């Protein structure tokens, strides 16, 4: 493998990892702070992509699809928290798995009625079309580079909010010890709703930016959900920084696994997960249970 090919694969791996991070960061926060296992998280990734397809087809603008899709997902997330998820706080995991699995089936049905079951494609914005010629035979799509950059900016924004705002402090503290946060007079009622809605919006955002690369299809959320759980467990539940490391690890493993060990490509991610968990049972940045 020459250097250019390696660079291209590296870019692919990073881009994949960053998209995965957008999905997994919401999942880890909802799991860590709200204490809820949301199996329907991947369904919102899929719905985000379909909404973007619909908005892009209706308006002809990728940007309206992007902003509109995220806004719709945020509002739907607020409503979902209020109507369904709120009832799961403090319940055992079985109740959470049952309800969120039911949500997958319902959201899939909603998708079938609204958008049908066809595979669609979404065109990237005009100025991001085309490729950069790297060598005589290799080129790299501009849109993929833009996705990298955009996801990186969103990731930095997430970290900035967590690091420097009061709500970020509450979210970090809540991931560690929810009870203690409440005993300091901070109610989780509003925080929970925003965390859930932002998580859903991030999943949808990931689905939207990926739509021009991967096409839009009914089962696209399922694989994403499983890999996101791998990322959450790898990084340590509730740790957004851990999710970033985990997502990049999965992106690199998956991409280079396919290049170097094609025969093992379907298990390489899980193999790496098993090894890391042997080394750190609570995830890379997971805190030890007391």
Partner 1 sequence: MTALLATERLEAFYGASQILHGIDLAIAPGETVALVGRNGMGKTTLLRSLMGLVPTRRGRVAWRGRDIVAAKPEDMARAGIAFVPEGRGIFGSLDVVENLVMAARPRRDGRPGWNLERVFALFPRLRERRRNGGHQLSGGEQQMLTIGRALMTNPDLVLVDEATEGLAPMVAQAIWRTLAAIRQDGIATLVVDKDVASLSGFADRILIMVKGEIVWSGTPAALRAEPAILDRHLGV
* Beta carbon of residue 28, minimum distance to partner 1 (angstroms, whole number): 13
Q: Which is nearer to partner 1, 88 or 170 (CB)?
A: 170
The DSSP result for 125-159, as a single string, is PGGG-SEEE-SSS-EEEHHHHHHHHHHHHHHHHHH
Residue 154 CB, nearest distance to partner 1 (Å)? 21
Beta strands in 145-274 (DSSP E): none
Query: From residue 153, how far is each of 18, 57, 227 by CA, in Å?
Result: 10, 27, 22
Smallest separation (angstroms) from partner 1 to the CB of 172: 5
For partner 1, give the closer residue by CB, 120 or 280: 280
The footprint of partner 1 (CB under 8 A) covers: 166, 169-170, 172-173, 175-177, 179-180, 182-188, 287, 290
Shortest distance (Å) from residue 231 CB to partner 1: 19
Q: Are 187 and 194 in contact (CB under 8 A)?
A: no
Residue 78 three-state SS: helix
- Dihedrals phi, psi of 120, to nearest 5 degrees: -125, 165
- Please state, in angstroms and rounded to a whole number, the distance separating the CA atoms of residues 235 and 76: 27
- Would you say 225 and 236 are in contact if contact means Cβ atoms under 8 Å apart? no
Residue 214 tokens, joined: 């991967």
Closer CB to partner 1, residue 117 or residue 163? 163
Residue 242 or 251: the one with the smaller Cβ distance to partner 1 is 242
Q: How far is the CB of 73 from partner 1 (least distance, A)?
A: 28
Q: Given the complex with partner 1, which of 184 and 278 has the nearer CB atom?
A: 184
Nearer to partner 1, 86 or 287 (CB): 287
Minimum distance of partner 1 from residue 182's CB (angstroms): 4
User: In angstroms, rounded to a whole number, what is the distance separating the alpha carbons of residues 145 and 7?
Assistant: 12
């Amino acid at each position: 493998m020459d250097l250019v090919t390696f660079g291209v694969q590296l870019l692919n791996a990073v881009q994949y990892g960053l998209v995965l991070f957008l999905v997994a960061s919401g999942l880890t926060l909802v799991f860590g702070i709200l204490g809820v296992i949301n199996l329907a998280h991947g369904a919102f990734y899929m719905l985000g992509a379909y909404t973007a397809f619909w908005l892009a087809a209706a308006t002809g603008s990728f940007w309206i699809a992007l902003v509109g899709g995220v806004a719709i997902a945020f509002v739907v997330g607020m409503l979902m928290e209020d109507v369904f998820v709120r009832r799961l706080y403090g319940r055992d995991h079985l109740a959470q798995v049952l309800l969120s699995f039911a949500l997958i089936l319902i959201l899939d049905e909603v998708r079938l009625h609204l958008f049908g079951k066809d595979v669609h494609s979404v065109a990237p914005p005009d100025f991001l079309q085309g490729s950069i010629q790297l060598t005589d035979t290799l080129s790299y799509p501009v849109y993929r580079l833009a996705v990298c950059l955009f996801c990186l900016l969103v990731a930095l924004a997430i970290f900035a909010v967590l690091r420097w705002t009061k709500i970020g402090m509450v979210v970090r503290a809540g991931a560690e010890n929810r009870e203690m946060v409440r005993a300091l007079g901070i109610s989780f009622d509003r925080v929970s709703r925003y965390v859930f809605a932002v998580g859903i919006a991030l999943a949808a955002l990931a689905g939207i930016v990926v739509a021009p690369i991967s096409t839009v299809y009914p089962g696209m959320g399922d694989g994403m959900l499983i890999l996101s759980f791998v990322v959450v467990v790898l990084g340590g539940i509730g740790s957004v920084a851990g999710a970033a490391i985990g997502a990049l690890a999965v992106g690199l493993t998956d991409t280079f696994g396919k290049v170097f060990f094609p025969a093992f490509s379907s298990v390489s991610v899980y193999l790496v997960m098993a090894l890391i968990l042997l080394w750190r049972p609570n995830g890379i940045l997971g805190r030890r249970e007391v």
